[in-house]
Structure 1
Amino acid sequence: MTRVLIVDDQVLIRAGLAALVRAAPGLDLVGEAVDGEEAVALAARLRPDVVVMDLRMPGVDGVAATRRILSAAEEPRPRVLVLTVLDLDEYVYGALRAGASGFLLKETPPERLLRAITAVGDGEMPLAPSVTCRLVEAYAHRAGTAAEPLPELSPLTGRERDVLALVGRGLTNAEIADRLVVSVATVKTHLNRLMGKLDLSSRAQAVVLAYESGLVTPRRSEPG
């Protein structure tokens, strides 16, 4: 069973999400939080597998709550799935930078949301990597200086840097394996090792690091 914590300051939305999770096979609702501060406390006490996180909340917002939950968590860390109104949103970028595993729009149909929770719990991204890369390309050059700095790449081997660069470009594990002429299992091993060395919580956070470190350069639009 995937243990789920719901975080949203709007009671109707929170109640609707909770009802969906309760009714879904394979999911176990372990708690509900009304704001980021309560989310941090409940995540530490309940140790959910997945936190479904609203972003814009009074007091401690979803970005700060995500950062605090993941920095304080013991292994295995929970996965954070962000719910947002706008996909191209600086708050979403901040959450990915803090270690969220992915994001979905609040208008997402219930069945797709439930699939995403399960996918995130299994360590997958809820959206195609290209969608996350589009968001990162839009905001990487605006990374806030007040945020926690991302790690240096010096601990990585050359092959691990190659894998990180291809993850940053939105390639799947199968596509990376084809590009590097190795097995998918080998790609997963390199990815797990580089994420461990850099203390990354999610593949999406690896995409952010690839851009912010300069390993991957955002594509530039052709002049009109």
Structure 2
Amino acid sequence: MSERPIRVVIVDDQSLIRLGFRMVLEATDDIDVVGEAGDGEAGVEAVAALSPDVVLMDVRMPGMDGIEATRRIRRGHPDTRVLVLTTFDLDEYAFGALRAGAGGFLLKDAGREELVAAVRAVAAGEATLAPRITRRMIELVTTDGAPAPRPHRSPALTAREQEVLDAMARGMTNAEISAALFLGESTVKTHVGRILAKLPARDRVHAVLIAHGLAEPGDG
């Protein structure tokens, strides 16, 4: 018997964008759009009523924005993952949503395959941030001429776990880490799980923020 489809709620104040995402996602066999909302407050209510696996969350919306909605969803429904949507290449709003607990980041002009892959990745807890995204995150929290945050070094991590964390911080996927460090992908997954437990970090994205000095271990 196949696994049940990934349940998705789309939160965006533009109905045409919601329709476009719905059409793309529902064309796949393993994703089911179970609800939509036009603002953050309605999105929080939809999550409470529908218990989706993933929320596609716009950042800039009237009323409750995506940052506050993400924060409330993650606090009240920790099993629901949030994939942040924005038209910008990571502005302060999107970064704030990541700090609030979002598990991934996606531009609204992403292609069909990229959107589907991102939903699947976030649902599986494998979400990561591309290198250009992590670089932009650092730029947003440093002032002109200020040094970048110091990378996190934890005495609780083994040397190999630190290598894996550093690779995660560079935006590498488990498959890429496996190839780079000559490890089996299952071994990489084991290391990632131990890293999240030892930091502690709520998820992979939080671990990346910690690795770049942009969040504190155990924060959030």
Equivalent-residue separation in structure 2 for 1:86 and 1:113 (angstroms): 16
- Residue by residue over 1:119-173, the C-alpha shift from the partner in whole angstroms, topping out at 9 and shown as x without a partner, is 322333376x32332222222437xxxxxxxxx9868333444432332233443
For residues 122-133 of structure 1, the aligned pairs below 5 Å read 122-125=124-127, 129-133=130-134
Per the alignment, residue 104 of structure 2 pairs with: 102
TM-score, length of structure 2 as denominator length: 0.76
In structure 1, the gaps of 5 or more residues are: 143-151, 216-224
For residues 121-200 of structure 1, the aligned pairs below 5 Å read 121-125=123-127, 129-141=130-142, 156-159=156-159, 160-174=161-175, 176-177=177-178, 182-198=183-199, 200=201
The one of 43, 48, 56 equivalent to 1:44 is 48
| Secondary structure, counterpart of 2:167 in structure 1 | helix
Q: Is the 8 A contact 2:70 2:97 kept in 1?
A: yes
| Secondary structure, counterpart of 2:63 in structure 1 | coil
In the TM superposition, residue 112 of structure 1 has moved relative to its aligned partner by 3.1
Per the alignment, residue 18 of structure 1 pairs with: 22
Equivalent-residue separation in structure 1 for 2:176 and 2:188 (angstroms): 10
- Residue by residue over 1:165-187, the C-alpha shift from the partner in whole angstroms, topping out at 9 and shown as x without a partner, is 33223344355456666543333
What is the RMSD of the two structures over their aligned residues, measured on CA atoms? Answer: 2.9
Sequence identity (%): 48
Asked if 1:208 is matched to 2:212, the reply is no
Equivalent-residue separation in structure 1 for 2:215 and 2:22 (angstroms): 40
Specify whether residues 170 and 89 from structure 1 end up closer, same or farther in structure 2 by C-alpha distance, changes over 3 A only.
Answer: same
| Secondary structure, counterpart of 2:71 in structure 1 | helix
Q: Tell which has more relative contact order, 1 or 2 (C-alpha 8 A, sep 6+).
A: 1
Per the alignment, residue 90 of structure 2 pairs with: 88
Give the aligned length: 203
Per the alignment, residue 114 of structure 2 pairs with: 112
Equivalent-residue separation in structure 1 for 2:214 and 2:162 (angstroms): 11
Q: Is the 8 A contact 1:93 1:135 kept in 2?
A: no
| Secondary structure, counterpart of 1:28 in structure 2 | strand
Equivalent-residue separation in structure 2 for 1:132 and 1:32 (angstroms): 27
In structure 2, the gaps of 5 or more residues are: 144-151
Specify whether residues 199 and 5 from structure 1 end up closer, same or farther in structure 2 by C-alpha distance, changes over 3 A only.
Answer: farther
The letter for the 2-side match of 1:100 is: A
